[in-house]
Amino acid sequence: MDRPQPSSPILLFDSGVGGLSVLAALREVLPQAPVIYAADIAGLPYGTKTEAEVAARVCGLLGRMAERFHPRLICIACNTASTIALGMVREVLEIPIVGTVPAIKPAAAITRSGTIGLLGTEATVRQRYVDDLEARFGNGHVLLRQAAPGLVEAAEAKLRGAPADPAAIAQSVAALRGQPGGEAIDTVVLACTHFPLLRDELAAELGAGVTLVDGAEGIARRIAALTEGQAFARDRADRAITTGSIEDFRALAPAFARHGIGDLAAF
């Protein structure tokens, strides 16, 4: 690929607002990088869809977005989309693609009890990709996976200014803890980019002895490494685009503004 223009954006893609947890980490390492935040709100949630549905949406949308915006790099800031479609997207697009996959490796280095919990979407927890990560990096520890679709909705609501539903938090944590051996969990992988947006609520519910781990900082470092030496010019507020209704999207304006995004548009 030719050297990107300084104004060429990094495109962050998620089904909804989850990718903002990745954007926050990216701003720490690359504050000057222009960003387009793409939310497939018309397809939200991904976690209850089939593999074929997620793959078709993600490949189709990213192809069109790459043509329209010429990003220097795409980050699939969504575990569900990454664990299903990362390989396919890399095959069809010629720009660097960074995925978001469950942070099992760092969790395995942290746990002292040897029991790790993993909260993700229904689709993520059943992926072979996660089986492979567990086999390669789980270090022989017990990994208890729990689908927590209510947390996606709670995070979406929270960023639209509503309180995060305490019942959804309590129910997800109780289901994880209620698995055989679940009382020994001392480390929890937040394997959905929406969940770090509920970090305080989840930490309070899980209790003081539990460490929460997500992949955002590692992803930001990876993006910085892949764009090292490139020039960046972020001379205006960044843009967020939605595949859904622009009226609904405007309810997220304050949350986007907190992440340096001031221009909301329909895709």
Would residue 78 show up in a list of annotated catalytic residues for this protein? yes
Structural contact between residues 121 and 147, judged by C-beta atoms closer than 8 angstroms: yes
Question: Does 79 participate in binding ligand DGL (rule CB under 6 A)?
Answer: yes
CB atoms within 10 A of CB 106: 17
- CA pair distance 117, 107, nearest whole angstrom: 9
Question: Does 188 participate in binding ligand DGL (rule CB under 6 A)?
Answer: no
Closer to ligand DGL by CB, 53 or 186: give it: 53
Q: Which stretch binds ligand DGL (CB under 6 A): 78-86, 138-146, 178-186, 208-216?
A: 78-86
Dihedral angle at the C-alpha atoms of 122, 38, 159, 174, nearest 10 degrees?
Answer: 10
Closer to ligand DGL by CB, 30 or 191: give it: 191
Place of tokens 């329209």: 68
Instruction: Give the footprint of ligand DGL on residues 199-228 (CB under 6 A).
Output: none
Closer to ligand DGL by CB, 8 or 216: give it: 216
Contact mark string toward ligand DGL, 147..186, x via CB under 6 A: -----x----------------------------------
- Out of 127, 187, 193, 242, the only residue in the binding site for ligand DGL (CB under 6 A) is 193
Question: How many residues belong to the site for ligand DGL (CB under 6 A)?
Answer: 17
Question: Does 243 participate in binding ligand DGL (rule CB under 6 A)?
Answer: no
Question: Does 196 participate in binding ligand DGL (rule CB under 6 A)?
Answer: no
- CA pair distance 212, 32, nearest whole angstrom: 29
Would residue 59 show up in a list of annotated catalytic residues for this protein? no
- Out of 15, 115, 227, 242, the only residue in the binding site for ligand DGL (CB under 6 A) is 15
195 exposure class (CB count in 10 Å sphere: 0-12, 13-18, 19+): buried
- Which residues are registered as beta bridge partners of 238? 261
Catalytic pick among 192, 197, 206, 223: 192
- CA pair distance 46, 147, nearest whole angstrom: 13
Closer to ligand DGL by CB, 193 or 227: give it: 193
Question: Does 192 participate in binding ligand DGL (rule CB under 6 A)?
Answer: yes
- Nearest approach in angstroms of CB 191 to ligand DGL is 7
103 exposure class (CB count in 10 Å sphere: 0-12, 13-18, 19+): buried
Enumerate the active-site residues: 78, 192
Q: Which residues bind ligand DGL (CB under 6 A)?
A: 14-16, 18, 44-47, 78-80, 121, 124, 152, 192-194
